[in-house]
Amino acid sequence: MEEVDKAISKYYDVKKILEFKKIVISDYKLINYGLQFTITKNNWIGLIRIYQNKKGNLKIDFSQFPEDANGKWIKNLIEGKDGIVIEDFVNNSYIDFGFPIIGTDESGKGDYFGPLVSAGVYVDNEIEKKLTHLGIRDSKKLSDNRNIELALKIKQICKGKFAIIEISPDKYNDLFEQFQKEKKNLNTLLAWGHAKAIEEILYNNECEKAISDQFADEKFILGKLQEKGKKIKLIQMHKAEQNIAVAAASILARARFLNKLSKLSNEYNIELPKGASDRVIKIGKVFINKNNQEELRRVAKIHFKITNKIIRN
């Protein structure tokens, strides 16, 4: 599932830059370890596959691509050989979306241990000035302690204008298994968290715009919004954390994640590490030796591939 999510994210990168050049791109179709889609320019058509190879690297496959002038030009666009680099193009953080705006972000998605946390923050012109003065920026660029410190200040400045949605590991596992049976993926769960945060903020605050990182088609979030969120304009973009509302949300989400991970560590008297590294596997083995495999569901996201390495003798 993780490799498919990465392929989907890259698909939306490609889609954005090609549509900018007035090239038609179809919806994607899932294949083994990735997806495929067609692109059309007038009467010209080409097939592209995006998948994860045996080395674990994401690959854009042009093997079914016509080697003509159109094919070479479009391939150069995608590979950044035509003066446009996808990563730079999709990072349209220079756009001023104005205020007020609600920013949403999540934390814990790539961490084996701990909950999945989504957060939203309403920012108007006055709040923006205060958050800027604090030095608010993407949580990934801050230390754990700094995230926790800034989260307290954000809550004071944005009292009544933020929401934090936490999905505990055991609830996460139940929902993920349910979604798998319904042939849905992690994006459905992420979308629910973002939509829930937006709805809670809108309960007491009027706002017409919301912004989040682009993890999937916007219909994932829009489809989860209830009555108050149906009229909101949703903006999705890569590196959305450069918008101060999203940056503030990322800090709230990360701080809650860190606090809950610490509480789980204290509850089981074992330090549960962040991420999904070899150290996580080692600690996972220690955990199930002290407890049991079923108890692992209360602290970890068991659909991660490393679960097999942890429970294997």
Whole-angstrom CA distances from 267 to 88, 183, 301 are: 44, 34, 17
Write out pLDDT tens, residues 217-232.
566 677 777 666 677 8
Q: What local confidence, expressed as pLDDT, does residue 84 receive? A: 42
Write out pLDDT tens, residues 149-180.
999 999 999 999 999 999 999 999 999 998 88
Query: What crossing angle do the helices spanning 144-157 and 244-268 adopt, rounded to 10°?
Result: 120
Q: What local confidence, expressed as pLDDT, does residue 96 receive? A: 60
Q: What local confidence, expressed as pLDDT, does residue 288 receive? A: 94
Q: Is the pLDDT of residue 19 over 80?
A: no
Q: For residues 189 and 106, which has the higher predicted lDDT (pLDDT)?
A: 106
Q: Is the pLDDT of residue 70 over 50?
A: yes
Q: What residue ranges do the domains of the chain occupy?
A: 2-90, 101-261
Query: What crossing angle do the helices spanning 186-202 and 2-20 adopt, rounded to 10°?
Result: 70
* CATH for 2-90, options being 3.40.630.10, 3.40.1390.20, 3.10.28.10, 3.30.310.240: 3.30.310.240
Phi, psi of 245 (to 5 degrees): -70, -40
Do strands 58-61 and 34-41 pair parallel, antiparallel, or not at all (unpaired)? unpaired
37-46, 99-108, 277-286: which range is least confident on average?
Answer: 37-46
User: How far apart, in whole angstroms, are the C-alpha atoms of residue 5 and residue 235?
Assistant: 20
Q: What local confidence, expressed as pLDDT, does residue 199 receive? A: 92
With cut-offs at 50, 70 and 90, classify the pLDDT of residue 110. Answer: very high
Write out pLDDT tens, residues 270-290.
999 999 999 999 999 999 999
Average pLDDT taken over every residue of the chain: 86
Q: Is the pLDDT of residue 254 over 80?
A: yes
CB neighbour list of residue 19: distance below 8 Å, 6 or more residues apart: 25
Q: What local confidence, expressed as pLDDT, does residue 1 receive? A: 57
With cut-offs at 50, 70 and 90, classify the pLDDT of residue 78. Answer: confident
CATH code of the region 101-261: 3.30.420.10
21-25, 174-178, 244-248: which range is least confident on average?
Answer: 21-25
pTM over 0.85: no
